[in-house]
Structure 1
């Protein structure tokens, strides 16, 4: 996240993403510039369910949008 915040281009997380906890960690640094992730092994090995990951991302984004609306 520190490196991503110093760059002017989006950063893609690749490798080491195993489960929903890792997705949560990535969502926490999205504002620092980590905006995408490549999932592979975790899907093949079954340690991450894509639908659950997508639901988590969508819920987090909706919560951010709601917070932004409240702050006006």
Structure 2
């Protein structure tokens, strides 16, 4: 199936997905819901950055080759 991310069909689907996700996880209106591509590799790369309290916090990481 091909669908443009700018099309009205996709817009309706993504809006419904956000409404359903907010209801399922009780996400408040004060928070944004982001749908990002990248899968587990991107997710696990972002975790250390989200644990920093401030942008100037030092972090260490290992480049494992994956």
Q: Under a length normalisation based on structure 2, what TM-score does the superposition of the two structures give?
A: 0.30
Structure with higher strand content:
1
Which structure ranks higher in relative contact order (CA pairs < 8 Å, sequence separation ≥ 6)? 1
Q: Under a length normalisation based on structure 1, what TM-score does the superposition of the two structures give?
A: 0.28
Structure with higher helix content:
1
